[in-house]
Every structure is written in C-alpha cells, then in structure tokens.
Chain A
Amino acid sequence: SAVISQKPSRDICQRGTSLTIQCQVDSQVTMMFWYRQQPGQSLTLIATANQGSEATYESGFVIDKFPISRPNLTFSTLTVSNMSPEDSSIYLCSVDNWANGYEQYFGPGTRLTVT
C-alpha cells in the first residue's frame, strides 16, 4: 500500500483568496486523484492528474477554479481559487494500485473552511 500525506491538514480561509493543497506519496505512481467531500456528502472526483500532462477534470470542475500541478511521480498540488463558502469541504488526494484491483489509497484529507 502507499502512504500519502497532505498539507495543510486544515485551514480557515477568507472568501476570495486561494489555497494550495499539497499531496506527497511515498512511492512513484502514475495517476493521482483529487476528490472533494462536502459536509455530510460522498466523495466527488475533481480531477485525475498524470505526471507530465494536463489534469483531466470531471464535469462541473474547471481548471481555472481548481488548477492542479503534477511535477513528478510522487507529488501533486491542488489549488482552490477565489474561494467562496461553498468550497468548504474536505479535499482528499488518492492513488490507485492497479496490481491490487485498482484499490485506492487516500491521504488524510485537508479540511477547508471558507468564511
């Protein structure tokens, strides 16, 4: 299994500002995933990030709002731009293991509150 860390673990931000969330994996992985979990809700995939290429965004999510970087095989960042209270969520980074039936391993999450 992979060990994933995220920074920050939580933050309280002002409306209109941006926050960059970092995700570090302890092994090289091809694909990294970013999810959003709004309060009391399930996980919603924001985008899939492959190293060396543009992230692939799911319907309802755009690059201008959620720019993603993937500079190498162990690291990715997600920026939440021009935040509003509706962006208050847990943001989760994950990787999958195709050798293990595409089992997903998740980071501890970043709890974001926008005031």
Chain B
Amino acid sequence: AQKVTQAQTEISVVEKEDVTLDCVYETRDTTYYLFWYKQPPSGELVFLIRRNSFDEQNEISGRYSWNFQKSTSSFNFTITASQVVDSAVYFCALSASGGSYIPTFGRGTSLIVHP
C-alpha cells in the first residue's frame, strides 16, 4: 500500500515570505515517482515536478525548489519570495510499481498569499 501525507491543511503567508509545503510518503516499492501539482482557483491541475526514487538530487526552478530525502521519506516544496499568484492548493502524489504506477494523492495544502 502507498500513502501520501500532507499534514499542513492551510498555510497563510504575506507576499515575499518563503514558505515550505511538507510531503511525507510511504511505499514498500523501491521504484517510485513523486510529483507536485498545483491547483489554482480555476480548478485545473498543473504539473510542477516529477522525481524518481533513484534521484535524490534537489531541484530549483526559479522561485520553486524541491528537497527529496529518502531517509525521511519526504519530498518538500519551497516557494521563495511568495507572490499572490502562488495562492492555490498544492498536491503531492506518489506512483509506484506496486500500484501499477497509478498515483496516490495527498490531501493537499491550501496556500494563501496575502498582498
């Protein structure tokens, strides 16, 4: 069985603050993928990043960065200098060979960035 936990239900910050969204996962598989998706108020899910289980290298893309640590089964997402347009629900997801690579989604973290 696989599981994704996003303990933060809602985070509220002021523009330009840095914010980290936590994601903890569980799987017995050694081959798996981790994802982050953004769902703005319009409702459409936007893919942000994919990481495979063999690549623990952290990634930075503009103001976004991701910290993947297998030792703690975490795949955290940091937004630097947050902006109002970052306000959305963010979902972490896991797909693994044991689950036929069908993703399991966390409950999502609602990020509200105030001007």
User: Chain B contact residues (Cβ within 8 angstroms of A): what range?
Assistant: 20 to 34
Chain A residues near B91 (CB-CB < 8 A): 42-43
B33 lies within 8 A of A101 (CB): yes
**In the complex, what's the smallest C-beta–C-beta distance from B23 to chain A, in angstroms?**
12
Contacts A42-B91, A42-B108, A43-B91 given; does A102 touch B103 at CB 8 Å: yes
Task: Report the separation of the CA atoms of residues A100 and B102 in the bound assembly, to the nearest whole angstrom.
Answer: 13
Chain B residues near A90 (CB-CB < 8 A): 43
Contacts A90-B43, A109-B43, A111-B43 given; does A45 touch B50 at CB 8 Å: no
Closest to B93 in A: A104
B47 lies within 8 A of A33 (CB): no
Chain A residues near B105 (CB-CB < 8 A): 42-43
Q: Check if A108 is an interface residue, CB within 8 A of chain B.
A: yes
Chain A residues near B27 (CB-CB < 8 A): none
B52: which of A1, A101, A105 is its contact (CB, 8 Å)? A101
Which residues of chain A from 77 to 114 have any CB-CB distance to chain B below 8 Å in the complex?
90, 92, 96, 98, 100-109, 111
Chain B residues near A102 (CB-CB < 8 A): 33, 95, 101, 103
Among B50, B95, B103, B108, which residue has the most Cβ atoms of chain A within 10 A?
B103
Task: Report the separation of the CA atoms of residues A92 and B46 in the bound assembly, to the nearest whole angstrom.
Answer: 13
Q: Check if B107 is an interface residue, CB within 8 A of chain A.
A: yes
Task: Report the separation of the CA atoms of residues A42 and B93 in the bound assembly, to the nearest whole angstrom.
Answer: 10
Per-residue CB contact flags for chain A residues 39-73 toward chain B (1 = under 8 Å, else 0) read 00111010010000000000000000000000000
Closest to B104 in A: A45
B101 lies within 8 A of A106 (CB): no
Closest to B39 in A: A37
A42 lies within 8 A of B106 (CB): yes
Task: Report the separation of the CA atoms of residues A107 and B15 in the bound assembly, to the nearest whole angstrom.
Answer: 30
Contacts A43-B91, A45-B102, A96-B101 given; does A103 touch B50 at CB 8 Å: yes
Which residues of chain B from 92 to 115 have any CB-CB distance to chain A below 8 Å in the complex?
93, 95, 101-103, 105-108
B107 lies within 8 A of A104 (CB): no
Chain A residues near B93 (CB-CB < 8 A): 104
What are 6 of the A-B contact pairs (CB < 8 Å)? A41-B108, A42-B108, A43-B45, A102-B101, A108-B42, A109-B44
